[in-house]
Amino acid sequence: MDVLIFMVSGTLAAATALIFAAMGELVAEKSGMLNLGIEGMMATGAAMGFVAATVSGSYTVGFLAAAVLGALLSAVFAVLTLVFRANQTASGLAIGILGLGLSSAIGKKFESMTLPGVPDLPLGPLAQIPVIGPMFFQLDVMVYLSIVLVFATWYMLNRTRLGLTIRAVGESPENAHALGLPVLWIRAGCVAFGGAMAGIGGAYMSTAYTPLWAEGMIAGRGWIVVALTVFGTWMVPRVAFGAYLFGSISLLELSIQALGVNVPSQLMSALPYLVTIFMLALISRNTLFIRLNSPASLGATFRL
Amino acid sequence: MARLALEPRETNSIIAPIQVAALALVMTLIGGAVLFAIYGVSPLRGLHAVFVEPLLTTYGIGEVLLKMAPLLLIAQGLAIGFRAQVWNIGAEGQLILGAIAASALAIWFDGTGSPLLLPAMIVAGMLAGMAWAGIAAFLRTQFNANEILVTFMLTSVALQLLYYLVTGPMKDPMGFNFPQSISFGQSALFPTIIDGTRANASLYLGLVATAVAVIFVRYSFASYKLSVGGLAPGAAFYAGFSSKRAIWIALLVSGGAAGLAGVGEVAGPLGQLQRNISPGYGYAGIIVAVLGGLNPIGILFASAIMALVYVGGDFALLSVGVPDAVTGILQGILLISYLACSLLLTMRLRLVREAPV
pLDDT in tens, A87-96: 999 999 999 9
Closest to A17 (Cα-Cα) out of A55, A45, A51: A45
Contact call for B154 and A277, based on CB within 8 A: yes
Give residue B356's pLDDT.
Answer: 64
How do residues B98-112 score in pLDDT, each as one tens digit? 999 999 999 999 888
Option in B139, B143, B329 nearest A98 (CB): B329
Residue (of A195, A231, A220) closest to A76 by Cα position: A195
Cβ pairs bridging A and B (under 8 Å)? 138
Number of other residues whose CB lies within 10 A of the CB of residue A270:
22
Residue A195 has pLDDT above 90, yes or no: yes
Cα–Cα distance measured from residue B252 to residue B255, given in angstroms and rounded to the nearest whole number: 5
Model confidence over A23-48: pLDDT tens digits? 999 999 999 999 999 999 999 999 99
Is residue B349 within a helix (H) or strand (E), and if so which, with residue range?
strand B347-353
Q: Which amino acid is at B68?
A: M
Assess whether pLDDT exceeds 80 at residue A1: no
Cβ burial B151-190 (10 Å sphere, 16+ → b, else e): bbbbbbbbbbbbbbbbbeebbbeeeeeebbbbebbebbbb
User: Three-class SS of residue B5?
Assistant: strand
CA distance B237 to chain A (A): 17
Higher pLDDT, A68 or B231: A68
**Are B164 and A277 an interchain contact pair (Cβ–Cβ within 8 Å)?**
no
Element holding A96 (H helix, E strand): helix A88-107
Exposed, middle or buried: residue B324 (CB in 10 Å: 0-12, 13-18, 19+)?
middle
Q: Quick one: angle between helices A141-159 and A183-204, nearest 10?
A: 160
Degrees, nearest 5: CA angle A109-A114-A117: 135
**Cα distance between residue A121 and residue A143, in whole Å:** 10
Inter-chain contact B145–A280, Cβ cutoff 8 Å? yes
B115 inside domain: no
Q: How far is the alpha carbon of A193 from chain B, nearest alpha carbon, in Å?
A: 21
- Could you give the number of structural domains in chain B? 1
**Residue B296 domain-assigned?**
yes
What residues of A are in the B interface, CB distance below 8 Å? 36, 76, 79-80, 84-87, 89-91, 93-95, 97-102, 104-105, 108, 219-220, 223, 226-227, 230, 264, 266-267, 269-270, 273-274, 276-277, 280-282, 284-285, 287, 290
Q: Is B247 a domain residue? A: yes
Interface of B with A in 42-71 (CB under 8 A): none
Residue B234 in contact with partner chain A when CB distance is under 8 A: no
Reply yes or no on whether the pLDDT at B1 is more than 90. no
DSSP state of B209: H
- B266 vs chain A: nearest CA distance in angstroms? 22
Report whether pLDDT(B2) > 90: no
Residue in A with minimal Cα distance to B150: A277
Instruction: Name the nearest CA neighbour of A120 among A107, A133, A106, A111.
Output: A133
Query: Does the pLDDT value for residue B233 go beyond 70?
Result: yes
Distance from CA of B50 to the nearest CA of A (A): 16
User: Is pLDDT larger for residue A151 or for residue B217?
Assistant: A151
In chain B, which residue's Cα lies nearest the Cα of A219?
B156
Instruction: Sketch the domain layout of chain A as residue ranges.
Output: 2-293
Beta bridge partners of B8: B347
The closest CB to that of B145, out of A87, A104, A284, belongs to A284
Shortest distance between the Cα of A302 and any Cα of chain B, in A, equals: 13
Look at B336 and A98 and tell me if their CB atoms are within 8 Å. Answer: yes
* pLDDT above 80: residue B333: yes
Q: B58 in a domain, yes or no?
A: no
B339 with A86: Cβ contact below 8 A: yes
Q: Is residue B345 part of a domain?
A: no
Lowest mean pLDDT segment, chosen from A141-155, A251-265, B127-141 = A251-265
Query: Which stretch of A272-276, B63-67, B352-356 has the lowest confidence by average pLDDT?
Result: B352-356
Give the whole-angstrom CA distance, residue A22 versus residue A237.
11
- pLDDT bin (cut points 50, 70, 90) of residue B357 is low
Q: What SS3 state is found at A120?
A: strand
Q: Is the pLDDT of residue A304 over 80?
A: no
- The reported pLDDT for the residue numbered A201 is 98
The 3-state DSSP class for residue A114 equals strand
> Largest Cα–Cα distance in chain B?
88
Q: What is the mean pLDDT of chain B?
A: 91
Question: For residue range A135-190, what is the model confidence (pLDDT) as tens digits?
Answer: 888 889 999 999 999 999 999 999 999 999 999 999 999 999 999 999 999 999 99
CB proximity under 8 Å: B 127-146 to A? 139, 143-146
Three-class SS state of A140: strand
Residue B137 belongs to domain spanning: 63-110+125-171+180-320
Cα–Cα distance for residue pair A54/A112, rounded to 1 Å: 12
In the predicted model, is pLDDT for residue B92 greater than 90? yes
Q: Could you tell me the maximum CA-CA distance found in chain A, to the nearest angstrom?
A: 62
Q: Which of A233, A223, A237 is nearest to A275 (CA)?
A: A223
> Could you report the per-residue pLDDT of B186-209, keeping only the tens digit for each?
899 999 998 888 999 999 999 999
Note the ipTM here: 0.91
At B59 the pLDDT is 92
Domain membership flag for residue B119: no
Is the pLDDT reported for residue B286 higher than 80?
yes
For residue A171, give how far its alpha carbon lies from the nearest alpha carbon of chain B (Å): 19
Topology at the third CATH level for domain A2-293: ABC transporter involved in vitamin B12 uptake, BtuC (1.10.3470)
Are residues B149 and A227, on separate chains, in Cβ contact within 8 Å?
yes
Instruction: Looking at the complex, report in whole angstroms how far the Cα of residue B128 sits from the nearest Cα belonging to chain A.
Output: 19
